[in-house]
Amino acid sequence: MSHVTAAVLVLDCAEPEELCEFYRVLLDGKIQSQEGGGRIELVGAGGTRMAFRRDLNAVPASWPRPDDSQQAHLDLLVAAEDLDEVERQIVGLGARPLETRGKGRTESRLYADPAGHPFSLRSTEEFVKPKAS
């Protein structure tokens, strides 16, 4: 039996207040706690938990890395018919498109948030339809 109750994705950044606001709008979230300006925690309407920690030396991730190593990133799930609308919202909030080619039912679009962390929009259809064995 696990005693772990939740997982929180923590992003280091120079301006946690600004980055928290970006994700608060996208996730229709509420700020849960703020620890003296050094860390802000957010809970999205769907239960997603994130935190933003001040690190004045934080540098944006390189995506994709030349050595093709795996990096952590956030997948935001969106209904396929809403991908274009959410993309406009994301860019309007300050995200930078990295790769936005459509790929049909399993479409995924990659962006960098205002602090440079990679994240993707993914069609929810690939998560609700059973995969063939």
If the chain, 133 residues long, is cut into consecutive pieces of 10 residues, what is the mean pLDDT of each piece?
A: 74 93 96 82 93 89 61 81 91 90 69 90 64 49
pLDDT score of 54: 93
Domain termination site, one of 59, 83, 108: 59
Per DSSP, the three-state class of 99 is: strand
Local structure of residue 81 (DSSP, 8 states)? G
pLDDT score of 120: 87
Q: What is the CATH number of the domain that holds 88?
A: 3.10.180.10
Distance between CA 133 and CA 128 in Å, rounded? Answer: 15
pTM confidence score: 0.77
90 and 34 part of one domain: no
42 and 75 part of one domain: no
Domain termination site, one of 37, 59, 81: 59
**Going along the chain, which residue ranges are E strands?**
9-13, 30-35, 39-43, 49-54, 74-78, 96-99, 108-112, 118-123
For the chain, how big is the Rg over CA atoms in Å?
Answer: 16
30 and 49 part of one domain: yes
* Domain enclosing residue 97, as ranges: 60-133
pLDDT score of 121: 87
51 and 3 part of one domain: yes
75 and 132 part of one domain: yes
Give the chain's domain count.
2
121 and 73 part of one domain: yes
